[in-house]
């Protein structure tokens, strides 16, 4: 499986995702934002960080970068695309995913391990997880408060496009377990074709027991076959 | 322009210093030259009051590759791996503008580390605020914490450990110390010493603006009621540019293009060019019209004194310009040859081919003033606190009072605002005795901790200096790391006062004694004097940042209780020293008396035994006993775990309260499986180490025999409310 990690100036989780992908036996390439062509890829990852310093608005400038035109083309022709944290923000800026990520409701950067529930385990990204499985995954962001319009929210629910929801250790989804104010505790969403996933939590941080846990592994192994 | 007395004073120079300048130049300086002298001769850059004492510190050791004098210290951790680290203060700017002051403090210390060829792998901080009810504290706390996070999170270096303290001594002068730790290959370390004639001097990074002019001079004077006017001397940080600069520099460092490299920190272009030339015993000539400027019509004076951030000066090997320029262009950064090295041993500043200033390098560096200031010794205080005369308090109430206080509350409100996990090598985050960072792709790890104890240092600087090195050493030991070396940030008041100079001199003597005994050398550091406002000085606050090595990380050791029914032992003797303790301060507001005594021999033996016990995998959790004494240490072990514990009443000691809250040094609590106890006792007996069994772990309750029993969930809640209610 060939993967490409897009590197913007200010990306800072690019090495982390590359380490995770290689650990999972992906053949990975790093792709600089000024390039105009993508190497052959089955999976494109847009990593976390502060692309272009998050100036103007998180992900806004990256959403207009040279390489992103190629990412959009590939995504539209069915290539798998994963945007994590800043990558999710960039995907919403490009329009590949609907909705927007607003400032956290407490107006502060939040870094901690949170619980999320796998709301749909029938996709290429999640098939190795159990339905409603609760994962403990690290979040680290200023703008992770997912917002969208009522029609789209309805669509997300009807077509099972919500990938993950923030919850407690037992899977209970409520306001108390919503770290950033996201609508319906949404932590990650798919596009209609479910080949694009954007998520605020960092699965690449959860592949090594010495550092955290292995709850992120199945996301990558789902993609492998 | 005529140099008037007023101008001299405005530049922070004394009249006698101005006379020496005239002597060194054989003439009167012009305004540009005066500015340059003021930038190099201020306390912050010249260490004129401290050098004479600093030179007594032990700075060498088998594992020291580079001691003080470079951008940062370098130690050897084996297999061609080196750790490069330093701590630095940004106190004055952070008080004036907390967000930017703290952010640029982080940016500055990161540059010191990656300038030497290291990829930064961890950030730490030590921040001290005034009393929580002082009207400025809340705003300063908010600003500093988001400034530290704003910079570190964005550049993508984990902020893994730190300390936050509140004390009215910092009401008008907070402390913000930032430490950065990086990893480099031992054979790829870069230094600032210039070599060779006619080599290109290259400016890279951000453009120069009018921010931060005279920042270093501002930081070399105490505050008064007009301090708000000094806000424009605070620099503005841009972590995004720093990230690009870091990646570009590390990319250029892959081959042999660089002769020497120096970041533009305090006193910007001036100090970086002078330092490189001075170390290489060369001259340097700059064409200032080539300096990339952010604003129009900047004068040579402004360019030389600006402290705009995210800039570096590089001396390149011949023929490497094209390749180097390509790298910086890739990262969208300025890259301009602005001068060359010469054999004149002078700093020559030209603007459009006209010489604007010319100063012998030695006049700025080696001939900078050196003061042997008068200092007073401080006697060990005598006043004994009479416990019997104090109003009785229940142990439970005292514990709750301490655990719910600003200084002892859980600090996740702060640490949750820092990305602690980026880079995916943080094996242990904040909240333990020390953080643990794995060396990327390897099995070894380093442990890092930063510590201070200003109450002890104020009471008796010599003991305080000794104690703080030991506490830092102990914190590394408690996570199973062999301590290697330290960096120190010495925060003091006005050195022109003999009392303050005495605090400095004696703290340093204490630090020296402990460092020598523990073979724990000082490899880098920073001095911050003039911390005070209107003649009111802060308590002496030396901050120690230590680095230790865990050569084979199997599981990170910490203080969180792991099992039910395991045995708790205490290593080290408990005498019940209550003076200068948290107990007296928090419960009775008493801050008199002597700090606890340090027995270096016991400290070392106890620590080495703990290391052996951890290495042999005989222990579930370890915690050092410090502020708050045994009972606070035990509460901390319980609060963060799923288990409670029961402490027995000791048979011998008369005053239980002294036993529980006393702050005797050199002690650790260990949680041990019953079946491993014998082996642990063997090690302790063989090494003649004093220990006693003090209790057992149990489910759900924190209990002190014959005194009280409290649900750990309740204890957790008590410990977690202060920040959220503030």
* B419, B444, B445: best to mutate for the A interface, most A CBs within 10 A: B419
- pLDDT tens readout for residues B647-671: 998 877 668 999 999 999 999 999 9
Nearest to B427 among A109, A110, A210 (CB): A210
Residue B521: its pLDDT value, please? 98
C-alpha distances (whole Å) from B471 to each of B285, B372, B422, B428 are 47, 30, 28, 19
Mean pLDDT of B4-24: 92
Name the residue of chain B whose CA is nearest to A137's CA. Answer: B421
With beta carbons under 8 A apart, name residues in chain A contacting B424. Answer: 16, 19-20, 204-205, 208, 211
- Interface touch A109/B156, C-beta < 8 Å: no
pLDDT at B655: 84
Spell out the residues 6+ positions from residue B354 whose beta carbon is closer than 8 angstroms to its own.
Answer: none
CA distances from B278 to A20, A191, B255, B311 (A): 46, 61, 25, 20
Q: How confident is the model at residue B217 (pLDDT cuts 50, 70, 90)?
A: low
What is the pLDDT at residue B535?
86
Q: Which of A16, A52, A210 sits opposite B422 (nearest CB)?
A: A16
Nearest to B402 by CA among B635, B100, B649, B669: B635
| B658 and A CB contact within 8 Å | no
Mean pLDDT of chain B: 94
DSSP state of B609: H
What is the distance between the alpha carbons of residues B365 and B271, in angstroms, rounded to a whole number?
9
> Chain A partners of B154 at a C-beta cutoff of 8 Å?
10, 12, 50, 53-54
- For an interface test with A, which of B121, B156, B440 has the most A Cβ atoms less than 10 Å from its Cβ? B156
Residues B569-618: pLDDT tens digits? 999 999 999 999 999 999 999 998 999 999 999 999 999 999 999 999 99
Q: Whole domain around residue A192: which residue ranges? A: 2-224
Q: Maximum Cα–Cα distance for chain A, whole Å?
A: 46
What is the torsional sign of CA A54, A55, A56, A61? Answer: negative
pLDDT in tens, B427-466: 999 999 999 999 999 999 999 999 999 999 999 999 999 9
Task: Quickly list H helices, A77-171.
Answer: 86-94, 150-158
| B153:A109 CB<8 A | yes
Please name every residue paired with A136 in a beta bridge, in sequence order, or none if there are none: A115
Query: Cβ–Cβ of A9/B149 closer than 8 Å?
Result: no
> What's the whole-model pTM score?
0.96
Q: What is the DSSP string of B555-594?
A: S---SS---TT-EEEEES------TT-HHHHHHH----SP
Residues in chain B: 726
Identity of the residue in B149, B155, B427 whose CB atom sits nearest the CB atom of A12:
B155
Using pLDDT thresholds of 50, 70 and 90, give the confidence band for residue B282: very high
Q: Categorize the per-residue pLDDT at B384 as very low, low, confident or very high, splitting at 50, 70 and 90.
A: confident
**A205·B239 Cβ contact <8 A:** no
Q: Give the CATH number, domain containing residue A67.
A: 3.40.50.880
Active site residue B90: yes
**CA–CA dist B334, B314 (Å, integer):** 13
pLDDT-derived band at B226, boundaries 50, 70, 90: confident
Residue B416: its chain A contacts at CB < 8 A?
108, 110-112
pLDDT at B486: 98
Residue B328 has pLDDT above 80, yes or no: yes
The answer, yes or no, to whether residue B478 has pLDDT greater than 70, is yes
User: Is residue B53 over pLDDT 80?
Assistant: yes
Mean pLDDT in residue range B392-419 = 96
Stretch B701-713: mean pLDDT: 95
- pLDDT at position B220 is 65
Tell me the average pLDDT across B155-171: 97
CA B640 to chain centre: 26
Annotated catalytic, A141?
A: no
Cα–Cα distance measured from residue A60 to residue B364, given in angstroms and rounded to the nearest whole number: 47
A70, A85, A98, A167: which one is catalytic? A85
pLDDT at position B343: 96
Q: B74-89, pLDDT tens digit by residue? A: 999 999 999 999 999 9
The whole-number pLDDT of residue B219 equals: 63
The helix or strand, by DSSP H or E, that contains position B70, with its residue range, turns out to be none
Q: Provide the domain count of chain A.
A: 1
**Partner residue opposite A111 with nearest CB, options B420, B427, B555:** B420
The token pair that represents A160 in the structure block = 């099972």
Helices and strands counted in chain B (H then E): 26, 28
Statement: residue B222 has pLDDT above 90: no
Instruction: Name the DSSP letter for residue A135.
Output: E
Please report the pLDDT score of residue B671 as a whole number: 98
In angstroms, rounded to a whole number, what is the distance separating the alpha carbons of residues B478 and B471? Answer: 10
Say whether pLDDT at B203 is over 90.
yes
User: Which residues, 6+ apart, have CB-to-CB distance to B285 below 8 Å?
Assistant: B339, B340, B341, B342, B344, B348, B349, B350
Residues B350/B287, Cβ–Cβ less than 8 Å: yes
* Interchain contact, B419 vs A19, CB within 8 Å: no
- Closest chain A C-alpha to B157 CA, distance in angstroms: 8
DSSP classification of residue B701: E
How many C-beta atoms surround the C-beta of residue B594 within 10 A? 18
Is the CB of B283 inside 8 Å of chain A's CB atoms?
A: no
Counting as low any pLDDT under 50, the low residues of chain A are: none
CA dist., res. A217 & res. A135, Å (int): 11
B423 reaches A (C-beta below 8 A): yes
Give the tokens for residue B648. 């027995």
Q: What is the ipTM of this complex?
A: 0.96
Which chain B residues have a beta carbon less than 8 Å from that of A53? 154, 238-241
Which of A12, A56, A58, A110 to mutate: most B Cβ within 10 Å?
A12
Q: A-B interface: how many C-beta pairs under 8 angstroms? A: 85
Of B156, B418, B553, the CB nearest to A49: B156
- CA-nearest residue of chain B to A50? B154
pLDDT at B415 over 90: yes
């Amino acid at each position: 499986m060939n993967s490409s990690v897009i590197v913007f100036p200010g990306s800072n989780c690019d090495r982390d995702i590359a380490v995770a992908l290689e650990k999972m036996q992906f053949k990975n390439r790093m792709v600089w934002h000024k390039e105009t062509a993508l190497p052959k890829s089955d999976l494109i990852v847009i990593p976390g960080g502060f692309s272009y310093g998050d100036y103007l608005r998180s992900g806004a400038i990256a959403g207009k970068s040279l390489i992103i035109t190629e990412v959009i083309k590939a995504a539209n022709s069915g290539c798998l695309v994963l945007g994590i944290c800043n990558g999710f923000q960039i995907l919403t800026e490009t329009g590949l995913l609907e909705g927007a990520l607003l400032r956290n409701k407490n107006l502060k950067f939040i870094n901690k391990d949170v619980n999320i529930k796998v709301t749909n385990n029938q996709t290429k990204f999640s098939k190795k997880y159990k339905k409603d499985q609760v994962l403990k995954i690290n979040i680290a962001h200023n703008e992770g408060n997912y917002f969208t319009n009522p029609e789209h929210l309805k669509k997300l629910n009807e077509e099972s496009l919500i990938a993950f929801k923030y919850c407690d250790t037992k899977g209970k989804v409520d306001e108390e377990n919503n770290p950033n104010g996201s609508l319906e505790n949404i932590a990650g969403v798919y596009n209609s074709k479910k080949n694009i996933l954007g998520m605020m939590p960092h699965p690449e941080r959860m592949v090594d027991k010495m550092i955290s846990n292995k709850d992120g592994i199945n996301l990558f192994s789902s993609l492998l076959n | 322009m005529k140099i008037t007395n007023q101008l001299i004073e405005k530049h922070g120079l004394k009249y006698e210093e101005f006379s020496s300048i005239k002597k060194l130049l054989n003439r009167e300086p012009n305004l540009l030259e005066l500015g340059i002298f003021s930038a190099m001769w201020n306390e912050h850059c010249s260490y004129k009051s401290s050098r004479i004492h600093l030179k007594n510190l032990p700075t060498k050791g088998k594992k020291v590759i580079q001691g003080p004098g470079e951008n940062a210290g370098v130690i050897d951790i084996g297999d061609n791996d080196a750790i490069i680290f330093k701590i630095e203060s940004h106190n004055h700017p952070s008080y004036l503008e907390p967000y930017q002051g703290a952010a640029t403090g982080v940016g500055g210390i990161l540059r010191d580390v990656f300038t030497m060829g290291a990829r930064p792998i961890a950030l730490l901080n030590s921040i001290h605020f005034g009393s929580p009810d002082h009207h400025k504290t809340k705003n300063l706390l908010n600003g500093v914490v988001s400034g530290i996070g704003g910079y570190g999170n964005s550049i993508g270096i984990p902020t893994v450990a730190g300390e936050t303290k509140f004390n009215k001594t910092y009401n008008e002068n907070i402390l913000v110390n930032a430490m950065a730790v990086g990893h480099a290959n031992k054979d790829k370390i870069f230094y600032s010493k210039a070599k060779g004639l006619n080599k290109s001097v290259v400016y890279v990074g951000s453009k120069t603006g009018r921010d931060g002019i005279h920042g270093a001079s501002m930081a070399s004077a105490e505050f008064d009621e007009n301090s708000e006017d000094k806000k424009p001397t605070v620099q503005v940080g841009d972590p995004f540019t720093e990230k690009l600069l870091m990646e570009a520099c590390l990319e250029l460092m892959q081959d042999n293009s660089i002769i020497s490299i120096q970041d533009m920190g305090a006193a910007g272009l001036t100090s970086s060019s002078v330092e490189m030339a001075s170390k290489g015993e060369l001259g340097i000539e700059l064409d200032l019209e080539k300096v990339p400027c952010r604003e129009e019509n900047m004068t040579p004076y402004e360019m030389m004194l600006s402290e705009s951030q995210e800039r570096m000066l590089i001396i390149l090997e011949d023929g490497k310009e094209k390749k180097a320029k390509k790298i910086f262009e890739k990262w969208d950064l300025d890259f301009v040859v602005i001068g060359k090295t010469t054999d004149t041993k002078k700093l020559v500043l030209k603007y459009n081919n006209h010489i604007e200033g010319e100063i012998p390098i030695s006049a700025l560096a080696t001939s900078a003033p050196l003061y042997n200031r008068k200092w007073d010794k401080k006697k060990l205080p005598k006043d004994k606190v009479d416990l019997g005369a104090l109003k009785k308090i229940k142990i439970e109430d005292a514990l709750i009072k301490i655990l719910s206080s600003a200084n002892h509350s859980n600090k996740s409100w702060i640490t949750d605002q820092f990305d602690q996990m980026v880079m995916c090598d943080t094996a242990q985050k904040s909240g333990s005795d020390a953080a643990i960072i794995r060396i990327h792709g390897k099995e070894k790890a380093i442990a890092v901790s930063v510590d201070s104890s200003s109450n002890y240092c104020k009471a008796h600087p010599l003991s305080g200096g000794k104690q703080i090195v030991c506490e830092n050493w102990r914190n590394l030991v408690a996570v199973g790391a062999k301590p290697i070396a330290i960096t120190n940030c010495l925060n003091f008041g006005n050195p022109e006062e003999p009392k303050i100079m005495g605090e400095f001199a004696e703290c340093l003597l204490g630090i020296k004694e402990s460092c020598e005994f523990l073979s724990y050398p000082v490899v880098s550091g920073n001095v911050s004097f003039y911390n005070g406002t209107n003649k009111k000085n802060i308590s002496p606050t030396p901050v120690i940042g230590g680095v230790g090595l865990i050569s084979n990380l199997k599981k990170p050791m910490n203080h969180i209780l792991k099992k039910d029914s395991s045995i708790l032992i205490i290593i080290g003797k408990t005498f019940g020293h209550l003076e200068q303790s948290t107990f007296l301060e928090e419960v009775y507001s008493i801050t008199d008396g002597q700090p606890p005594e340090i027995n270096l021999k016991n400290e070392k033996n106890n620590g080495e035994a703990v290391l052996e016990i951890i290495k042999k995998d005989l222990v579930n959790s370890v915690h050092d006993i410090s502020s708050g004494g045994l009972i606070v240490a035990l509460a901390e072990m319980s609060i963060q775990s799923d288990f409670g514990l029961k402490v027995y009443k000791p048979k011998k000691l008369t005053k239980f309260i002294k036993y529980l809250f006393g702050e005797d040094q050199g002690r650790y609590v260990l949680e041990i499986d019953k079946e491993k106890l014998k082996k642990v006792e063997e090690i302790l007996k063989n090494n003649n180490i004093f220990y006693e069994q003090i209790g057992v772990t149990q489910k759900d309750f924190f209990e002190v025999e014959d005194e009280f029993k409290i649900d750990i969930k309740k204890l957790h809640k008590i410990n977690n409310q202060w920040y959220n209610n503030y």
